[in-house]
Amino acid sequence: MSEAAIHSVTAPVARPELLASLDPLLREWLPRQRWFAGKGRPVTGFSLVTANELLPSTAQLGLLHLLVRAHQPLTPAQGAGTRPGDCYQLLIGVREALPPHLAPALIGHVEEGPLAGHTVYEALHDPRPADVLLEALRTQARIGELRFERDRRQEIRGDLVPRLITAEQSNSSLVFGDTFILKLLRRVVPGVNPDLELPLTLAREGCPRVPAPTAWMAADLDEETYVLGVLQPYVQGAVDGWELALGELAKESEPAEDGCRGGEGFTGEARALGRATAEVHTALARALPTVTLGHVQMELLVDGMTERLATAAQAVPALRPYAAGLRTAFEALADLASEGQTWTAQRIHGDLHLGQCLRAPSGEWSLIDFEGEPSKPLAERRMPQPPLRDIAGMLRSFDYAAHAVPGALGSAPAGGTPVPSVPDWADICRAAYCAGYAEVAGRDPRADPVLLRAYETDKAIYEVLYEARHRPDWLPVPMAAIRRLAASP
């Protein structure tokens, strides 16, 4: 599709009746999506932020781009009153009838309004709408409030076959011909999004550990910008750290002739991943401002950790016997700060774990998904923080991997020799990761045990609350760490 064609078939949609006709369908469909943040609360209504036709709905195939707010009752933790609903990016295909291969993408059949008699569906499952997005990025199109930008130094071919990644994600991703991957943010907020900001910054610094953005899409509304998606090179043949670790663990869980295994198969990868993490941290520290955290700032940090512990203990009774021991991790950090110790804070990844790391067939590691924790406000995600927060997240991820493989808890496989307990594998990998980090950063993360323990404890508490609410079968994983951390000196 040419640039002229893109502009000639697209136009803003300013029809309140459009959203009214979609409302009953979206109320059923939206809460079932993996990326919907308001699970457990009913959707009471929608408000339209913006609507644009990327393909006219009067044609055989229409494509609507919507930003809508989903309104829901507040939870007790959110307080009384009202607040704006979360804003979601929707790409809705419009057809008279849905082909059988698109049946899983069905949203519903519209009975009234401008789309009456049509079927609407999640358009990302359909190659033609995906092609429209890539062409808009390639041609730097302007479509209503939508703005498509690109790095002109990187070529974008228009004949790349798209496919939707169906793995569970908090956003949606399209791969184009094993050349590019387009990450489409689902819950969007106004402001500078670190998922675009930090990779652009690292590209300018020449850091090879993060794929440089090729193009991106945004919406300009009421003098604010919403980042909607980022196109980056696709690392063909790459395996994420989580899958790689599980594969190595599965091998080590097999019976050994001498009965001894202990993480050696992943040690080199963990060390290389530590080096890659340090390269990203040092590049970010060069490129963006750093700050010093003193007594006042650390007091606020400790207060937040202590408050999260209290909230989690109230919600998860299994946590309560360990609360006093866990609190000592935060008290020890507060004591150091009161004695005058300071820490350096900088921009970091913000949500680092094995699943956010890719190993290329060449053996090189890359870090991806710099969005941070989507549940936190954007301003908080962009605040400078000690690098040990990222490191603690990775150390916890090794522990999760160790629990995820049958037999990795120290039990014996059928007819086999007992495999090592979790600390054997996880601790070897954790040590290798920290050693690799020190090779680049010049300082071992374990040289600051008080801050590292505080961040690990805070992360484990978050995991307990998350698992109790969403995956009760996984609750023993963070609880094992809770017992260890509560007993630490």
pLDDT digits (tens, 9 = 90+) for 410-449: 433 333 333 344 458 999 999 999 999 999 999 999 999 9
Q: What is the pLDDT of residues 175-189, one digit of tens each?
A: 999 999 999 999 999
HSE value, Cβ hemisphere, 13 Å, CA-based, for 329: 29
Q: What stretches of 330-426 adopt beta strand conformation (E)?
A: 343-345, 357-359, 365-367
Between 107-111, 169-173, 397-401, the lowest mean confidence (pLDDT) is in 169-173
Q: For the chain, what is the total number of helices (H) and then of strands (E)?
A: 13, 19
Residue 473 DSSP one-character state: G
At residue 227, φ and ψ (nearest 5 deg) are -75, 125
HSE value, Cβ hemisphere, 13 Å, CA-based, for 443: 10
3-class secondary-structure state, position 488: coil
d(CA 212, CA 454): 33
The pTM assigned to this predicted structure is: 0.89
d(CA 481, CA 127): 45
Q: Which residue's structure tokens are 């499952």?
A: 125
Cα angle: 219, vertex 221, 225; to 5 degrees? 55
At 57 the pLDDT is 78
At 137 the pLDDT is 97
Other beta carbons less than 10 A from residue 468's beta carbon:
19
Q: What is the pLDDT of residues 61-102, one digit of tens each?
A: 999 999 999 999 877 666 555 567 899 999 999 999 999 999
DSSP per-residue string spanning 101-137: GGGGGEEEE--SSTTTT-EEEEGGGSHHHHHHHHHHH
- How far from 46 is each of 58, 75, 169, CA to CA, in Å? 24, 18, 23
Q: Which residue's structure tokens are 């209290």?
A: 310
d(CA 391, CA 387): 7
At 410 the pLDDT is 40
Q: What is the pLDDT of residues 211-238, one digit of tens each?
A: 999 999 999 998 899 999 999 999 999 9
Residue 173 DSSP one-character state: E
Nearest residue to 239 (alpha-carbon basis) of 300, 310, 167, 347: 167
Higher model confidence: residue 167 or residue 109?
109
Q: What is the pLDDT of residues 280-306, one digit of tens each?
A: 999 999 999 999 999 999 999 999 999
d(CA 3, CA 142): 10
Residue 318 DSSP one-character state: G
